[in-house]
Structure 1
């Protein structure tokens, strides 16, 4: 396991935070630092056809070592980290033989990782955890996935007795700001299907995700001296509040779970003259998703009749539920499930309450379920990853490659 620890730490200590306000790809120059490191490492372990394009998308090949035809499969992860919390100067801490008690992340600031709040910690008693120092995120999302893919490829190269077909690996920038698959060259990648190593808890296997859209609502008002405002003033903030109150109050992230969808107000800036509100719209069911967009349009239309066209609405679809693209080739999920079971891992098959590169890649012609990478509490100072989970994820990749080759043997 030490090689996994060393590799993971070498990745997370490189700052790769992405930036949604940037128009470049990658969105931050510092993502190139890890990208170039990964290219060199892939070459060093013996991968073939290692390439990096002008947008920092990395691809490499492990050639087949069998004589029969086997579909080319892929494994994908992203190397950027979330802009939600600092990724600068990450200082990982290693907790050996975790005892199930509170973990003091930062004595100076009294930051504690506690199973009283994060109950999943108790699943990993006796294991080795890697945590933050309480001042940054860790970056297991998704540098754990990269660690696992590189480690699995190295293992297969060093153990040619394990038979496999051609394997492609791909590492992407900017997944955390929703652009990870935007410039991914599916044709160049050349796989018939792939797996993103971007899930959380050990055992997770996901082939459903939200349908997603973003909405921007702009409300125009009219400012008049409040002492003489009757019949003249139009307060854009009050109209926006009225709109928000017309949405289902229980269909918000903090009150939903499982396959339940929601409207989520993510930002609002306003004055009497103009208010701008941003929403995200999510639902696993495509019909319900379309109904949500129609409801928002109806509310806006009703308000425009009342307020003389003061409200404008822009809705843009972001990604769709990969289930409709994965179900026709469901054997790719079954192979992953079989791989986990053969390694003593209980598969946890559940919908993602979010999206991954895989959701976009699936609609680009590369069916792409999501597999656990092992981390918990992403995007914040309480993030941690059990080393044993990363080891198991590495073994799952190896087993998927082996099972795929065996399945297609004449």
Structure 2
């Protein structure tokens, strides 16, 4: 058996190529993908996969990349899939990214060269303590880096390269999926799960090396429309009921202990993410989150009660509140297929790390894929400080992720007896 830790990794070179391609998604765009430029990376990935000899690699009209690595074993092995998203967050510019490798990291704060006010401070990024002597990659200070999730893309691509070039690594059929628009919650809107035909999937989109996430928030969105009463401000006494002021009052009355800035761990929240309007009409968009679906519904009731109580003081005004499901905690699906998570933990262990099972205060493509019939936990990609100019990843963590993907293929082909 080839020693996986001594492979000639290509992940860093791939990552440095991919982050220079602007793939920012756009929540305001109704198109799918939301931005055509995401397909630029998709086309490059297809070309590289085909150059490896993976002949069925293709980009579909929705910006999804699919590919298949055929089995090289006679065993009847369940089909597994690896997935990462190609888009970067709308929260921070992803254009003209200039990646910098800080070799042999020494534990000092990292001052980014294109904006010296952008400093990645050790006391604010404690995971940097695990990177002493490693090679840390950052952006230059004016953009995000794009490690979320191009680190995962590069890791899967390197794993494909290794599987093709090292037939001694035995595996079943391996499917590859790269998605657009994950950052705006639409990553798997157009994924053809039947075409994948996989039993299990792993998103490669997590943070610290060794982490595997089997639990996400359950998530709802809420849209509140307030219809107030407009009047000329010079003659408004006892007539005007400003929708703007009603909206402000509602936000101010939300319980402080149900806000993102006052919660952590397994605590959920109600969070206003957008507010717009005039005196006559105002709209507030909320996100509602909790790991427990029962509590998620309770948070929605809290919001309804706050809105109702405030509107009682404005008898001429009206409102509508629409609550829509967004995604659900994938743990309920994964618990029915315990080997999927167990094999992931075993692969991390074989790659030389202490596996850590985590919950994520957010969602991944895997949240929705799990409920589309494809159970999908999330393994680490090594990305940190997502959606910001301080984003970073280390070369060594990316290599560990590649090793984990390869070990996963091996574990599925030859499961340990205890499972």
Match of residue 239 from structure 1: 246
Match of residue 376 from structure 2: 368
> Alpha-carbon deviation of 1:4?
1.8
| 1:3-402 matches, cutoff 5 A | 3-106=10-113, 109-226=116-233, 228-308=235-315, 309-402=317-410
> Alpha-carbon deviation of 1:50?
1.5
Q: Aligned to 2:56, what secondary structure does the other structure show?
A: strand
Q: How many residues align?
A: 409
Deviations 1:176-226 (A, max 9, x none): 111001100000011001000011111110111011111111212223344
Name the CA distance, whole Å, in 1 between partners of 2:236 and 2:62.
54
Name the CA distance, whole Å, in 2 between partners of 1:220 and 1:330.
49
Name the CA distance, whole Å, in 1 between partners of 2:367 and 2:195.
18
| CA distance 1:141–1:299, change in 2 (3 Å) | same
| CA distance 1:162–1:120, change in 2 (3 Å) | same
Name the CA distance, whole Å, in 2 between partners of 1:227 and 1:20.
39
> Alpha-carbon deviation of 1:305?
4.4
> Alpha-carbon deviation of 1:227?
5.1
Q: Aligned to 1:207, what secondary structure does the other structure show?
A: strand
Q: Is the 8 A contact 2:222 2:321 kept in 1?
A: yes
Name the CA distance, whole Å, in 2 between partners of 1:218 and 1:136.
35
Q: Aligned to 2:286, what secondary structure does the other structure show?
A: strand
Q: Is the 8 A contact 2:115 2:141 kept in 1?
A: no
Name the CA distance, whole Å, in 2 between partners of 1:335 and 1:408.
9
> Alpha-carbon deviation of 1:294?
2.2
Name the CA distance, whole Å, in 1 between partners of 2:344 and 2:120.
32
| CA distance 1:258–1:220, change in 2 (3 Å) | same
| CA distance 1:235–1:405, change in 2 (3 Å) | same
Deviations 1:138-180 (A, max 9, x none): 1111111011111111111111111111110100111111100
Q: Aligned to 1:179, what secondary structure does the other structure show?
A: coil
Q: Is the 8 A contact 1:70 1:408 kept in 2?
A: no
Q: TM-score, normalised on structure 1?
A: 0.96
What CA RMSD, in Å, does the superposition of the two structures yield over aligned residues?
1.6
Structure 2 alignment gaps of length 5 or more: 1-7
Structure 1 range deviating more: 320-329 or 215-224: 215-224
> Alpha-carbon deviation of 1:228?
4.1
